[in-house]
Structure formats: C-alpha cells, structure tokens
Amino acid sequence: MAAGEGVKLIGYWASPYALRVEWALKLKGIEYEYIEEDLPNKSALLLQCNPVYKKLPVLIHDGKPVAESLLIIEYVDEVWKEKYPLLPRDPGERAKARFWAKFTDEKCVPAVMATFTSQGEEQEKHAKEAQENLKTLESGLEGKPFFGGETIGFVDISAAWIGIWAKIVGEIVNIKLVDEEKMPLLCAWLQGVLENPIIKDCLPPGEKLLEHNRGFHRMLTGAAST
C-alpha cells in the first residue's frame, strides 16, 4: 500500500452516515484523522472533495476523496480486505447485504424522517410505514443475531443507527416506532450491536443527540416539543 497522507474522515458528530464509516474504520482497526465539519458552514475542503453532493461523510485516502457512506464502507472493505471483513465472501450473501443496506436507506430512513417532519394524520400514515419497513428489515436477520451472522458486518453498521434514531424520533413525536413487542428480533439485534465496545465507544452522547434533534423538530414544526 502506498504510504502517503493516510486516511482522513470528514464527519459531523450527529451524522449517522459519518458514524457508519467510523464504525467500519474502527472495527477494521484503521488509523485515521477525523475532521469535524462546522455545519452548517461547510468547509472548502468538503466542497472540494464532494462537489456533486456537498455532503459528508467523505473519506480521503492518500489525497483521493470517496463519498457516499455505503460506498466508502465498501471501499474500505476492499482496500483493507484482510482486516475484519465487513461484507461476506459469498456473492449471494454479499447481494443480500447490499440489498438490506439499500433498503435501510431507501425505505426505513425516509419513512422515519417523514414521521419526524409531518403532523397529524399524515404523520400517523408515515409512522405506520416506518414500522412496517422496520419489521421488513427485521426479516433480513433471518433469525441470526446479526445481519453479518455471528459477528457484526456491513448491514449491522449500516442499519444500527436507524434503530437509535427511530427511538429518538419516537420520543420526540411521541409515537413508538421501534416496538419491542412487534419487533423483538430487531430490538435484540440493536441491543447486541450497541453492546459491542467499539460500536458503543463511537456513539454520540445520547442526551446531546436527543436535544439536537429536538432543536430540529422545533425548527421544522414551529412547535414547542416536550
């Protein structure tokens, strides 16, 4: 591997997408320099490294930027392939892993987000959809403790934050999205992932994250949330 400027990660403390990448790097034991963005004031570096989306996270490896969190994780898994492989070896299992990570981003996230930003009847509709999607995500576990099987893998680090975030949203809007009775396996899974010391160590402080999101909610709805 070429020696160079090493690995840098442009992130933000409350960004779940940056969190995924940190989990990947830490599980693989990769040294990196973390650069915290001062959102909403996006740095020149971020804009230069991700001109298309202007978003974080961005991984910079020996000066070369890689954007889009799931792609960053695949990149990291390919470059450091011997260290704690995140994707399974078998192409069929890899396809399943990519499918569920994509499902998390394309179905679970928008539904939880829509629950967060809407009100009244519309919110009820979105909350129901979010619960259904989380239930579908649970089916991807196929009865295993983790999506990666016996150990945490690609889907686990891609999807775990949705469990955290759905709980936060649920608390703010007072709707139970992650229901222990309806999704016992998903809840057990989430607990299992968050018990991992490496995972736990990276988590942003719970209260700070809750307040941060409460702030967003107040801004979005103009209401005083309890």
* Interface region with other proteins, contact rule CB under 8 A, candidates 40-48, 93-101, 153-161, 208-216: 93-101
Which CB, 78 or 180, lies closer to other proteins? Answer: 78
User: Is residue 142 a contact residue for other proteins (CB under 8 A)?
Assistant: no
**Cα atoms found within 13 Å of the Cα of residue 189, Cβ hemisphere only:** 33
User: Is residue 66 a contact residue for other proteins (CB under 8 A)?
Assistant: yes
User: Is residue 68 a contact residue for other proteins (CB under 8 A)?
Assistant: yes
**Quick check: helix, strand or coil at residue 109?**
helix
Phi first, then psi: give them for residue 65, nearest 5 degrees. -85, 140
Q: Quick one: which of 94, 135, 182, 214 contacts other proteins (CB under 8 A)?
A: 94
The single-letter code of the amino acid at 21 is: V
User: Is residue 74 a contact residue for other proteins (CB under 8 A)?
Assistant: yes
User: Is residue 99 a contact residue for other proteins (CB under 8 A)?
Assistant: yes
Side-by-side strand order, sheet with 64-67: 33-36, 7-11, 58-61, 64-67
Q: How far is the CB of 52 from other proteins (least distance, A)?
A: 6
Which CB, 54 or 200, lies closer to other proteins? Answer: 54
DSSP state for residue 153 in the 8-state scheme: -
User: Is residue 123 a contact residue for other proteins (CB under 8 A)?
Assistant: no
What residues contact residue 24 under an 8 Å CB cut-off, 6+ apart?
72, 73, 76, 77, 86, 157
Site size for other proteins, by CB under 8 A? 21
- Six token digits for residue 191: 């607990």
Return the closest-CA partner of residue 115 out of 167, 159, 182.
Answer: 167
Which CB, 173 or 186, lies closer to other proteins? Answer: 186
User: Is residue 136 a contact residue for other proteins (CB under 8 A)?
Assistant: yes
User: Is residue 103 a contact residue for other proteins (CB under 8 A)?
Assistant: yes
- Residue 58 β-bridge partners: 10, 67
Site for other proteins in 163-182 (CB under 8 A): none
Return the closest-CA partner of residue 25 out of 64, 56, 61.
Answer: 61
User: Is residue 91 a contact residue for other proteins (CB under 8 A)?
Assistant: yes
User: Is residue 32 a contact residue for other proteins (CB under 8 A)?
Assistant: no
User: Is residue 71 a contact residue for other proteins (CB under 8 A)?
Assistant: yes
| CB atoms closer than 10 angstroms to residue 21 | 27
In contact, 163 and 133? CB cutoff 8 Å: no
Positions touching other proteins (CB under 8 A) are 52, 61, 64, 66-68, 71-72, 74-75, 78-79, 91-92, 94-95, 98-99, 102-103, 136
